[in-house]
Structure 1
Amino acid sequence: MDSTTTITAVHHHQRSSNKKEKIIVIMGATGTGKSKLSIHLATRFNAEIINSDKIQLYTGLDITTNKIPFNERQGIEHHLLGDFDPEDAELTASEFRSLAGFTIGDIVSRKKLPFLVGGSNSLIHGVLVDRFNPEEDVFDTGSNADPVSFELRYNCCFLWVDVSLPLLCDYLSKRVDDMIDAGMFEELTQFYQNDPVSQIGLTKSIGVPEFRSYFRRYPPSDTCSDEVSWDWVRRGVYEEAVRDIKKNTCQLARRQTEKILRLRKAGWDLHRLDATEAIRRAMTSAGDGDVFMEEWGDIWERQVVEPSVKIVKSFLEE
């Protein structure tokens, strides 16, 4: 993607239209079900999805970064998801604002509804506010930065998927185990074989720094999948890395929730959708097979999807 051309195009788009485009913004901490909800809604409202997770912008580490798999996208077009080479310079907030702004305009021009979906609230803020200063971090509580702006350049409908934090941390811990089972460690092994320092866009992904000490001690070329060859020291270093991933993922969820609360305090009209019961059911019934899936799906549909559909319909009819 040619970012210079795109940035020029978005400026032209902004000058040529004074009407605020309507967009749906789906936010929430990691693991709350944002991607799942976005697919459920996009299929109902002829929408396309713009990723606003700063790590998922880059190609690679699909399991580690929790990119939604192609087979779960139900044909919905996704933008800015795995589109950038991690060896290029890290995308700035200003560049993302311009790229997302152009993409929103393009989707609207094709009579479709833009969804902005992701957990990077700093990127969401940067895209949406009318006046954006890239030199200020409005979420830095220790700075003298201006408060979060409530003046937005789009007509936004905010859907905030929320889960009780203690339960969410338990769920995220289980999700890390599931990611390991799905091949996360093998994916990180391959990543560390390919000069991780050069892949700047992915170095901040949770999982990469946590396994750095492990791979320094046990280089990827020496990694053996035969667990019989792992002594207790090696197993201990590995398990410590996994524990750190779980701890840091929970801390990320806490920080993301704090930022969302700050946006709401600043006047952003966030519709809170409580997915706690659905996640609790997922935690307590993971071994129930089809029965679990049916009951979990019923709770998710009733407490998250159906209220969201009503909110979006009302917003579009305004």
Structure 2
Amino acid sequence: MADPLVVIYGSTGTGKSDLAVELAARFNGEIINADAMQMYRGLPIITNQLNPEEQRGIPHYLLGNIGLDEEPWSVTSWKREATKIISGIRSRGKLPIVVGGTSYYLDGLLFDEKLVESDPAMTEESEAAAKITREELASQHPILRESAEVMLAKLQEVDPVMAERWHPKDIRKIRNSLEIYLTTGRRASDIYAEQRARKEAKRAGQPPSPWNLLLFWLYAKPDVLNARLDKRVDKMVTNGLVNETSSVYDYLQGRLAAGETVDRTKGIWQSIGFRQFESYLSAVKSTETETPQAVLEKLKQQGIEDTKTATRQYAKYQVRWVARKTIAALQEENLLSKFYLLDSSNISQWHSEVAEKGSFLLAKHLADRPLPRPEELSETAREVLANQLERSNRPETICNKTCEVCEKEFRIEEQWQKHLKSKKHQKATRWAKRQAEGWPTRGEGKRDKAEGTDDDAAADADADDDGLVPKP
């Protein structure tokens, strides 16, 4: 078989790195990391890197290769380096296996047309922009330091099509679209239109992908995965998470004291496990006042709980990315027949349901033998994949609605309907009703607040409303 490539998607805690090692050991493979946080050096606990024993002597690339003082890699930079490494692995007669939870890295590797959407500030359209840090760019264009409202007004002026797509409070996406225009002189909407035209041209006779792909998606049911992630955070704390975050905190304070500017909107500063303990570390290291031990302990426990909440939310975000973006892209490229969901919900059955099934499929793939249909692999695969295919084929309806109770705005009708059905909205509605009627509300508001929020309005819906959990 010419140029086989194995790609493993999956949210944190599903065992995707373990599967990569298992397949590499059985099929003479080497592994390329596609987790943006695991590229940082000296932070194995925060970033959940496999230790040397767990790596079992298998070569791993792009793992712990970036220092804290280096600029974070864009998806373009990662793809360029990963492609070189893949060629090197093949030249040695071995099987390249790419694994990671940063799905936009993986999508950027597989789908050329996804690069702009995945990493808008660092695109192939502007190599010059890739050399400019976000801080330097903001110095050249002060509007990039303004509020979401101000930047959206500018975006409506220069690229009304993109302005219409974004939620008015989604400052990251608004800024990214504006950065594309300011660094390239071209509208992001025009770039996307050209990409769609190139895609149509490719379908009309362009040669197929140079890679013979086999793709895995490690998936665990949300309730099971959430409990697993909570236990993993406890284990990370036992293994020295606080000490590791303390070192990162000292490093950051040293740079700030030296007058350096640190962009904390990207890179390791956004890692789960650092931000959540920052209040605790600040109190511990304060020389101005001595914080009582009871207060320190409370801050530490809050850091642990916040890390658990953020980890659960991130896992949900990772699942939604694959379900909504990767599957749609695979469908466009006619690659869904090579995309296999492996159910890692039951950890006691991980070997049979993940390692053995993955090895069985890869053996058939390398031997160029017929593969089973992805939905035949398990009941979970059938349910989840069918739900997501049905969803991806459903056109989105544009709307402009505001939930006065939750103070959120929506541009997609489907997201609005999900929000109305979500538990958070229903709790908020009950809370508002009780306040209006003068009912006692002690405790309920605290519980709602403790649950946290997701990155965008659509995430208000429960996982099963999203079609990501098999029906009972």
> Where does the alignment leave 5 or more consecutive residues of structure 1 unmatched?
1-18, 279-295
One-letter amino acid of the counterpart of residue 214, structure 1: Y
The 10-residue stretch of structure 1 (211-220 or 68-77) with the greater mean CA deviation from structure 2: 211-220
| Superposed CA offset, 1:159-206 (max 9, x none) | 111100111011101100000001111111122122266597421110
Q: Larger Cα Rg: Structure 1 or Structure 2?
A: 2
Instruction: Establish whether residue 249 from structure 1 lines up as the match of residue 318 from structure 2.
Output: no
| Superposed CA offset, 1:46-76 (max 9, x none) | 0000000001111021111101001111110
Tell me the CA shift for residue 217 of structure 1.
2.4
Tell me the CA shift for residue 218 of structure 1.
2.3
Paired with 2:2 and 2:292, the residues of 1 have a C-alpha distance of: 59
One-letter amino acid of the counterpart of residue 251, structure 2: N
Would you say the 8 A contact 1:51–1:80 is kept in 2? yes
**What SS does the aligned partner of 2:341 have?**
strand
Instruction: Establish whether residue 44 from structure 1 lines up as the match of residue 26 from structure 2.
Output: yes
Change (3 A) 1:221 1:53: farther
Match of 1:181 among 231, 234, 238: 238
Tell me the CA shift for residue 114 of structure 1.
0.3
The 10-residue stretch of structure 1 (151-160 or 66-75) with the greater mean CA deviation from structure 2: 151-160
Paired with 1:122 and 1:220, the residues of 2 have a C-alpha distance of: 39
Instruction: Establish whether residue 240 from structure 1 lines up as the match of residue 222 from structure 2.
Output: no
CA RMSD, 1 decimal: 2.9
Change (3 A) 1:130 1:314: farther
Tell me the CA shift for residue 111 of structure 1.
0.6
Aligned to 2:38: 56
Tell me the CA shift for residue 311 of structure 1.
0.8
Aligned to 1:35: 17
Q: Which runs of 4+ in 1 moved over 3 A?
A: 130-138, 140-153, 196-201
Paired with 1:111 and 1:155, the residues of 2 have a C-alpha distance of: 15
One-letter amino acid of the counterpart of residue 217, structure 1: A
Aligned to 2:50: 68
Paired with 1:157 and 1:52, the residues of 2 have a C-alpha distance of: 16
Aligned to 2:321: 259
Match of 2:75 among 82, 86, 93: 93
- The TM-score with structure 2 as length reference comes to 0.54
One-letter amino acid of the counterpart of residue 66, structure 1: N
Aligned to 1:219: 285
Instruction: Establish whether residue 117 from structure 1 lines up as the match of residue 179 from structure 2.
Output: no
Residues 69-84 of structure 1: pairs in structure 2 closer than 5 A: 69-84=51-66
Change (3 A) 1:20 1:264: farther
Instruction: Establish whether residue 204 from structure 1 lines up as the match of residue 276 from structure 2.
Output: no
Paired with 1:94 and 1:62, the residues of 2 have a C-alpha distance of: 24
Change (3 A) 1:265 1:301: same
Aligned to 1:170: 227
Paired with 2:118 and 2:268, the residues of 1 have a C-alpha distance of: 23
Paired with 2:116 and 2:317, the residues of 1 have a C-alpha distance of: 20
Change (3 A) 1:161 1:136: closer
Aligned identity (percent) is 31
Match of 1:159 among 200, 216, 219: 216
- The TM-score with structure 1 as length reference comes to 0.79
Paired with 1:153 and 1:243, the residues of 2 have a C-alpha distance of: 46
Instruction: Establish whether residue 314 from structure 1 lines up as the match of residue 371 from structure 2.
Output: no
One-letter amino acid of the counterpart of residue 328, structure 2: K
Change (3 A) 1:220 1:100: farther
